[in-house]
Amino acid sequence: MKINTLSLLTLLIASFVLSACQNKNTATPFSDENDYTVRDDTPANTEVTNQQTQTNTDENQYVAINTDYGQIVVELFSQVTPNAVKNYLNKVNTNYYDGLIFHRVVPGFVVQGGDPTGTGTGGGKINSELNQIPFVKGSLGLARTPDSKEISNDSQFFICLTDEQCGQLTGDYVNFGRVVTGMDIVAKIQVGDKMNSIVATTK
């Protein structure tokens, strides 16, 4: 009887410790609160209605990201995310991004830049305009910390490299644009490459 009780107690303790370790690993996808990175988890299957994916392309605006490899033309979702687009265009029109680097490249996932410090921890805050536009290859999103998906970084943005890995981000990150030409240029970007300029006039 004593042996059975001891064995049961040992199993209960082991189960509790294992459960705690698993929860810790899944609950903390970020390293610290100032690290503006995009979550890279297993893609989730999410259903999105047709109405939620509309971006009113006739009313949208465009910018061009000029790099040493060529130009990336991006359509901004002005109707769906007006504040994010306004903030982005204000930075574009004041040459904020000129000379900044792409500080993070995760093959098969995202290319990220726009941090004035070049470290992934810089930039300000903006209220998130979360939407259900699916994140796919070429989607433009705002980075954020793990604190709350209601607040995003006001300058750091990422471009999705694949449909599969970015689908999980839908509804959790601000999707405010898409690459219309130049994904071949995006695919060449490496850590440390510069945005020579971002302009509101496209070729």
pLDDT attached to residue 34? 60
What predicted TM-score, i.e. pTM, was given to this entire model? 0.75
Digit-coded pLDDT (tens) for 34-64: 665 556 554 444 343 333 344 455 578 999 9
pLDDT attached to residue 13? 42
**Strand runs labelled E in the chain:** 61-67, 70-76, 102-106, 110-113, 125-127, 139-142, 151-153, 157-160, 175-181, 197-199
Please give the average per-residue pLDDT across 70-90, as a whole number: 97
- The band of 184, judged by pLDDT with boundaries at 50, 70 and 90, is very high
Q: List the structure tokens of 35.
A: 């690290």
- CA-to-CA separations, 39 to 34, 36, 90, 187, in angstroms, rounded: 14, 10, 27, 20
How is residue 43 annotated by DSSP?
A: P
Instruction: Please give the Cα distance from 29 to 17 (Å, whole number).
Output: 20
Question: Does pLDDT of 15 surpass 70?
Answer: no
Check: CB of residue 192 under 8 Å from CB of residue 101: yes
Question: Does pLDDT of 8 surpass 60?
Answer: no
Kindly give, in sequence order, each residue whose CB lies less than 8 Å from that of residue 134, ignoring residues fewer than 6 positions away. Answer: 46, 48, 53, 167, 170, 175
How is residue 76 annotated by DSSP?
A: E
State phi, psi for 11 to the nearest 5 degrees: -65, -40
Higher per-residue pLDDT: 145 or 3? 145
Q: What is the CATH number of domain 32-199?
A: 2.40.100.10
